[in-house]
Amino acid sequence: MKKMTCIHIGGLYASKEPAVIETLLGSCVAVCLFDPVEQIGGMNHILLPGRADLKHYDVVSRYGINAMELLINKLMNLGSKRYPLVAKVFGGAHVLPAISHENGMGRKNVEFVLEFLHMETIPITSRDTGGCRARKIYFHTDTGEVLLKRIHPTHHAEVGLRERNFVDRVVRMKAEEPGEITMFT
């Protein structure tokens, strides 16, 4: 029996032992990295593209660059080599109809991940991104196999609300930090 692990927004997990990692995605993106030689795999759950301001945020793995670098480093620490890694990319749905597709976070997350993987020369062997349906992902760390379940649109409001609340909380945390004051005389 394989160990089951569920990751949430900003989470990541990698294992040398056979395991199944699951996550629920709306506009977030999950990247599954797999080393077919060593049979080591891992997955992250990215909330926002780009890099976290390390002075203000405690869960830096919510941000694309941080999440990708942390996952690659974790795999290498488990014995993976850098260049046999292959990727599978999921998520990036447009779950908030009030926001235009062009400004949607799902599209921005997918663009970021695809560009990152291209720059790092990590081939993408499978991808299911975009659209308007949330996804539940099950990634097998020892085989690289992914099982995907698309979520019926009635659950979109719940997934979209959960992601919107996370984004709002991160923005509030930033706003609550005292800033510099410049006095004008």
What pLDDT digit, counting tens, does each position of 99-146 carry? 887 888 999 999 999 999 999 999 999 999 999 899 999 999 999 999
**Is residue 78 within 8 Å of residue 40, measured between CB atoms?**
yes
- When the pLDDT of each residue in the chain is averaged and rounded to a whole number, the result is 88
In a domain, 131, yes or no: yes
Which stretches does DSSP call E strand in the chain? 3-6, 12-15, 19-25, 29-35, 40-46, 86-91, 124-129, 135-140, 146-150
pLDDT at res. 147: 98
pLDDT at res. 111: 97
CB neighbour burial string for 141-151, b if at least 16 within 10 angstroms, e if fewer:
bbebebeeeeb
- Strands of 29-35's sheet in order across: 12-15, 40-46, 29-35, 86-91, 124-129
- The confidence band for 166, taking pLDDT boundaries of 50, 70 and 90, is confident
In a domain, 181, yes or no: no
**Is residue 71 within 8 Å of residue 43, measured between CB atoms?**
yes
Number of domains in the chain: 1
In a domain, 68, yes or no: yes
By residue range, what is the domain housing residue 155?
A: 3-176
In a domain, 184, yes or no: no
Confirm whether 32 is a catalytic residue. no
- The confidence band for 155, taking pLDDT boundaries of 50, 70 and 90, is low
In a domain, 182, yes or no: no
Q: CA dist 31 to 24, 112, 139, 176, Å?
A: 12, 11, 10, 31
Active-site hit among 6, 28, 32, 132:
28
Tracing tokens 């720059």 back to the chain, one arrives at 119
Return the biggest CA–CA distance within the chain.
70
pTM: 0.81
For residues 171-175, give the mean pLDDT.
Answer: 69
pLDDT in tens, 24-61: 999 999 999 999 999 999 999 999 898 876 665 567 78
In a domain, 17, yes or no: yes
Q: For residue 164, give the CATH number of its domain.
A: 3.30.1330.200
Tracing tokens 């909330």 back to the chain, one arrives at 47
In a domain, 145, yes or no: yes
